[in-house]
Amino acid sequence: MLYLVPTPLGNLKDITLRAIEVLQSVDVILCEDTRTSSKLLTHYNIHKPLSPYHQHNEHKVLQHLVDQLAAGKTMALITDAGTPGISDPAFLLVRECARQNIKVECLPGATAFVPALVNSALPTTRFAFEGFLPPKKGRHTLLTKLATEERTIVFYESPLRLVKTLQEISTYFGEDRQCSVSREITKMFEETTRGTLKEVSEYYTAKPPKGEIVVVISPP
């Protein structure tokens, strides 16, 4: 069977006891970057074979992995941080396992957008998660549509593009729309900045951001 195992966003203590047990029990651990994953596994004294599985090779290795699973191997899929399948590879493998009746189990655990949303002080009852916004093709169409979205909007962004994106969204949503930006969640320099799109954009213009970023925007 295949286990999808969430891994810590930054603080290595943010992993469940069950996740550790699963990683200790499987035959193979699939991971994005063996160097990154090795740090976590070494910390918890887990010694299992690692096999690369990322966006650049997932199509190439898909059938081989499915064949191994069908033959009886048990695998765990992890990413560099967070839950597999949330803006990270997993969909193709899960879909193929489902097609071939191979059991898949997803463990609960770390996902960056959840603490960012809850900590945003914006409505959490209904929300739309957009992952990473398209860089070019389809961006205008999507932002035009999201401008009237009645749910809270959540998406990921690169620190290098954050200010430009906030300024661009202001032209679609209006600069007075409320937003929250969380970065470096669970890490030493964790920070959440709240205000209007204009205010948050000005803050990060004066103080260029670093690290992983989650943006939360209020409904109209």
pTM score of the predicted model: 0.93
Question: CATH: 3.40.1010.10, 1.10.10.10, 3.40.50.920, 3.40.190.10. Which one for 2-106?
Answer: 3.40.1010.10
Kindly list the strands in the beta sheet with 50-52, ordered across the sheet, starting from the edge strand earlier in the chain: 50-52, 28-31, 75-77, 2-4, 104-106
Q: Where in the chain is the domain with CATH 3.40.1010.10?
A: 2-106
Of 187, 160, 177, whose CA–CA distance to 120 is shortest?
A: 177
Residues of the chain with CATH 3.30.950.10: 113-217
Q: Model confidence over 112-163: pLDDT tens digits? A: 999 999 999 999 999 999 999 999 899 999 999 999 999 999 999 999 999 9
pLDDT tens column, 25-71: 999 999 999 999 999 999 999 999 999 999 999 999 999 999 999 99
- Asked whether 133 and 165 are in contact (CB, 8 A), the reply is yes
With respect to CATH, is domain 113-217 assigned 3.30.950.10?
A: yes
